Chain A
Amino acid sequence: MRIIVPLKQVPETKSVKMDEKTGTIIREGVESIINPLDLYAIELAIQLKEKYGAMLVGISMGPPKAADALKEAISMGIDEAFLLSDKALAGSDTWSTAYAIAKMIKKIGDYSIIICGERATDGDTGQVGPEIASYLEIPVLTYVNKFIEIKENEIFVHRQVEEGSEILSSSLPTLLTVVKEVSEPRLPTLRGKLKAKKTIIPCVKVDELDIAIEKIGLQGSPTRVAKIFRPKVARECEKHFAKDPSKIGPAVNALAAYLNKKNLL
């Protein structure tokens, strides 16, 4: 069986800074990493390969340097990888991204399972996974927190919802989006790192796929960013300094009185 793992390269969110004047993101000097939540998808794919035997294909869409994310996936245990990289894709929203990735998957051919991370830490939408499934007309299992088994062309999983976990099954082919609880990502092995170093990631262009150019990029995207701004946060804080042991008592007293007054104790 073939398992496809779509990955995204994202900026290290903690290091993202804003240009206060223009309201845009400063990208220079920001480190790029593999989307942390995609590591759980890679790990589950590797575990399925170990259990049932599979060919693992990593794919990504992004600038040429996104090949680094795919190399990292190979160092963990993904067998082969393709990067969809084309200037025509710049500015694609989730609809256009899912459309392009689905076309790429169609080009790769038969597959049994597509495994995605729940969402990417930069865009934070979690939409692309279900959208790919929808375009490919396959079922989707979101928020998978536990894999049970594959039996007679059917996969059994647990799906995390607000009140607990659903036990679900889906016929194959299907698409899973996974949450952290599903697996414990392994570290790359030395052998994997050597393999990744030697691997050249093929770069696929839009005209190699059956893609309608008017459906991709900024122009093809249904949504537009109208503006971005910094969230305003401010309250008047009654601040007590209690680093000195003698100040602790009075500060805690004041807090108790404050909460009492508000009827919060």
Chain B
Amino acid sequence: MKNSEFSDIWILAEQHNGKLLRISYELLTRGMALAKKKSCKLCAIVFSSGVENDELEKLIACGADKVISVENPQLEHFLPEPYSACMSDLIEKYKPEVILAGATSTGRTLMPYTAMRACAGLTADCTQLDIESATGNLLQTRPAIGGNIMATIKTPDRRPQMATVRPRSTKPSEPMKNRKGEIIRIKPNEKLMLSRVKYRGFIPLEEKHGIQDAEKVVLVGRGIKKAENIAMARELADCIGASLGATRDVVDRGWLSYPHQVGLSGKTITPKLYIGLGVSGAIQHLAGMQTAETIVAVNIDPEAQIFKVADFGIVGDIFEIVPAMIREIRAKSLPVSVTGST
């Protein structure tokens, strides 16, 4: 099949209980920029057991020209086989040139499972996307080799060009006035719904507020020295209503659990305020936090890399500075926020 037979940019909109997730709107932001450069249509695909029209209209208001909603009870939760069978079917039918999905647990499973079958190129965890003006190819940029370098990848000959996009690496698209678009609802063939994986239940996370949703984050690095000292960081976090996060070093030592990990191998965060305590600023970590609006760093080493991305830095001993910060904030008798809430 010729490349010219493929057109349009697709994004995979993810839903939970019939409500679209934030990543869907982030992908619309990405997709709109690419569709504009290529002067092509932007289409959102949704797999679900059923989504209300109002919800699908939001995708159009936020940038989609077309919405394809594939609906079947078997698609309520992500299951690799039926999701991939439907996506493969849609690819054959509509021939999209580009497919973007979030680098989420769903996207990072569905996309490789589907790309293999479609003999398509797939790039993981992109943080920048662009169109090469000479060829119209998708330029997919991602951190590589543990975040030491950025690599730009392209898929010159195969179609579709597929990529997963790092969540929180861009702002979600906002609704625009007077946008029009088409909604297509599809009832898939039951043959596509076969699944050898069965969904049997769900155990929600104990911590309600994920670090990714926090407006403020206090983040501890190896400079915290031992597990007992985490309490001090937690106190500061509670004081300003921040969530607590950690570098990989801290998580690898078992001082905080993996859901706290920020960086290339953990979560990407874009909070309003990031306060790093004893964080050296390895590139792997910076890859997960440098888009924070305001970055504050406290570190004993004046040469620490973290100061290169910080807006405000204190060179000093965190075991002296942090208690002083807590006293200072309390003295100003600012309202004490609820633990971990934002």
Kindly list chain B residues whose C-beta atoms are within 8 Å of the C-beta of A171: 196
| Interface pair A139/B145, CB less than 8 Å apart | no
Q: Kindly provide the distance from the CB of A130 to the nearest chain B CB, expressed in whole angstroms.
A: 4
| CB nearest to A221 among chain B residues | B121
| Chain A proximity mask over B144-186: 1 for CB below 8 Å, otherwise 0 | 1111111111111110000000000000000000000000000
| Interface pair B122/A251, CB less than 8 Å apart | no
Of A52-60, A65-73, A140-148, A195-203, the one contacting chain B is: A140-148
- Known A162-B105, A236-B311; judge A139-B196 contact (CB<8 A): yes
| Chain A proximity mask over B304-342: 1 for CB below 8 Å, otherwise 0 | 000111111111110011001100110010100000000
Q: Kindly provide the distance from the CB of A63 to the nearest chain B CB, expressed in whole angstroms.
A: 17
- Known A130-B80, A166-B199, A255-B296; judge A142-B307 contact (CB<8 A): no
| Interface pair B152/A237, CB less than 8 Å apart | no
What separation, in Å, do the CA atoms of A238 and B314 have in the docked complex? 8
Taking a contact as CB atoms closer than 8 A, the residue among A99, A180, A243 that contacts B300 in the complex is A243
| Interface pair B200/A98, CB less than 8 Å apart | no
- Known A123-B144, A233-B309, A265-B240; judge A256-B328 contact (CB<8 A): yes
Instruction: Give B267-287 interface residues, CB cut-off 8 Å to A.
Output: 272-273, 282-284, 286-287
| Interface pair B156/A224, CB less than 8 Å apart | yes
| Chain B proximity mask over A240-265: 1 for CB below 8 Å, otherwise 0 | 11110101110111011011001011
Chain B binding surface SS class: mixed
Which one of A222, A233, A237 has the highest number of Cβ atoms from chain B below 10 Å of its Cβ? Answer: A222
Q: Kindly provide the distance from the CB of B153 to the nearest chain A CB, expressed in whole angstroms.
A: 5
| CB nearest to A14 among chain B residues | B146
- Known A134-B117, A140-B113, A168-B199; judge A159-B153 contact (CB<8 A): no
Taking a contact as CB atoms closer than 8 A, the residue among A14, A122, A247, A259 that contacts B273 in the complex is A259
| Interface pair B145/A253, CB less than 8 Å apart | no
| Interface pair B146/A223, CB less than 8 Å apart | no
B124 at the interface (CB under 8 A from A): yes
Kindly list chain B residues whose C-beta atoms are within 8 Å of the C-beta of A99: 116
| Interface pair A248/B149, CB less than 8 Å apart | no
| Interface pair B149/A161, CB less than 8 Å apart | no
| Interface pair B197/A235, CB less than 8 Å apart | no
| Interface pair A235/B321, CB less than 8 Å apart | no
- Known A95-B115, A164-B205, A243-B315; judge A223-B121 contact (CB<8 A): yes
Kindly list chain A residues whose C-beta atoms are within 8 Å of the C-beta of B84: 134
Instruction: Give A94-151 interface residues, CB cut-off 8 Å to B.
Output: 94-95, 98-99, 121-131, 133-135, 138-143
Taking a contact as CB atoms closer than 8 A, the residue among A129, A160, A224 that contacts B155 in the complex is A224
Count A-side interface residues using an 8 Å CB cutoff.
Answer: 87
B29 at the interface (CB under 8 A from A): no
A213 at the interface (CB under 8 A from B): no
Kindly list chain A residues whose C-beta atoms are within 8 Å of the C-beta of B113: 130-131, 133-134, 140
Taking a contact as CB atoms closer than 8 A, the residue among B108, B153, B202 that contacts A224 in the complex is B153
What separation, in Å, do the CA atoms of A13 and B249 have in the docked complex? 14
A239 at the interface (CB under 8 A from B): yes
Kindly list chain A residues whose C-beta atoms are within 8 Å of the C-beta of B1: none
| Interface pair B200/A167, CB less than 8 Å apart | yes
A210 at the interface (CB under 8 A from B): no
- Known A139-B80, A162-B104, A264-B294; judge A241-B116 contact (CB<8 A): no
| Chain B proximity mask over A207-231: 1 for CB below 8 Å, otherwise 0 | 0000000000000011111111111
Taking a contact as CB atoms closer than 8 A, the residue among B105, B123, B199, B286 that contacts A223 in the complex is B123
| Interface pair A95/B258, CB less than 8 Å apart | no
- Known A95-B119, A124-B264, A229-B150; judge A237-B139 contact (CB<8 A): no
| Interface pair B200/A156, CB less than 8 Å apart | yes
Q: Kindly provide the distance from the CB of A184 to the nearest chain B CB, expressed in whole angstroms.
A: 10
Kindly list chain B residues whose C-beta atoms are within 8 Å of the C-beta of A133: 80, 113
Q: Kindly provide the distance from the CB of B96 to the nearest chain A CB, expressed in whole angstroms.
A: 15
9 residue pairs bridging A and B, Cβ less than 8 Å apart: A124-B125, A125-B125, A127-B111, A127-B124, A131-B116, A134-B116, A139-B81, A164-B203, A242-B320
Chain A residues within CB distance 8 Å of chain B = 11, 13-14, 16, 18, 23, 25, 93-95, 98-99, 121-131, 133-135, 138-143, 156, 158-171, 174, 179-181, 221-231, 233-243, 245, 247-249, 251-253, 255-256, 258-259, 262, 264-265
Chain B residues within CB distance 8 Å of chain A = 16, 77, 80-81, 84, 104-106, 108-109, 111-117, 119-125, 132, 139, 143-158, 195-205, 210, 216, 240, 258, 264-265, 272-273, 282-284, 286-287, 290, 294-297, 300, 302, 307-317, 320-321, 324-325, 328-329, 332, 334
6 more contacts with CB within 8 A, not counting A139-B197, A143-B105, are A25-B145, A127-B111, A166-B202, A237-B311, A253-B328, A255-B328
